[in-house]
Amino acid sequence: MKKKGGGEVEGCQCGAFSPICLLVSNHALQIFLSLATVLILSDMPAHGALSAGATYPISFVDIDGNKLSTSDGHVTIVVLTTPADREQARTVGDHVPDFCLGNPAYRMITVVHFTSQHMALGRRMATAFIRHRAREAAKRLQTRYDALKISRDAKNDIFVVTDFDGTIASQLGQPAGATDFAVFVFGKSGELLAQWHSVPTTDELTAAMKKSD
């Protein structure tokens, strides 16, 4: 550091209350806090998203009045879909491994999420449509049962739940108003073993369900 004439000190060191130094320090602090926030948020799950390994005892009542739960002792595949994504839901059913078919230890539940408000008449019509689709699914599943010589009525293994107000979708981590397609595998006590936002392959479903063994 050099001294200028009159004893004035020349250099880059700022006085404790220098406005320029305070401005620079505040700016640096803002940058630091912004970076820290990004790093923290990047390690956090999305708002409402389910976490693998956590337990989610979610209850359902299907269109036939059956009371179901993700924590009632079954390994459960839950498909969250909308009427527009029914072909994806159908493909998930086709990908269920053969060892699960007719086996009371395993179960698949399809939750049909309606995103708009429905009047009572509209709900009845929608439920009737879903029942029709469930009967078609039972016929396809019965074909697989017959090919595998499983002596069981496939319609007893088709579970479809309607979600008109978003309550179930919310419990499955779906933000309000969202229409994401999702597939979950829950263990016998409701622990989340795997989840996808696309159609998993048969191998992926097999690997997830084997985690419960």
> Tens digits of per-residue pLDDT, 64-80?
999 999 999 999 999 99
Position 209 scores a pLDDT of: 93
Signed CA dihedral, 61, 62, 66, 69: sign only? negative
Position 99 scores a pLDDT of: 96
Chain segment 145-178, per-residue pLDDT in tens: 999 999 999 999 999 999 998 999 999 999 887 8
Domain with CATH 3.40.30.10 in the chain: 59-210
Chain segment 43-64, per-residue pLDDT in tens: 334 446 899 999 999 999 999 9
CATH number of 59-210: 3.40.30.10
Nearest of 195, 194, 197, 196 to residue 212 by alpha carbon: 194
Position 212 scores a pLDDT of: 84
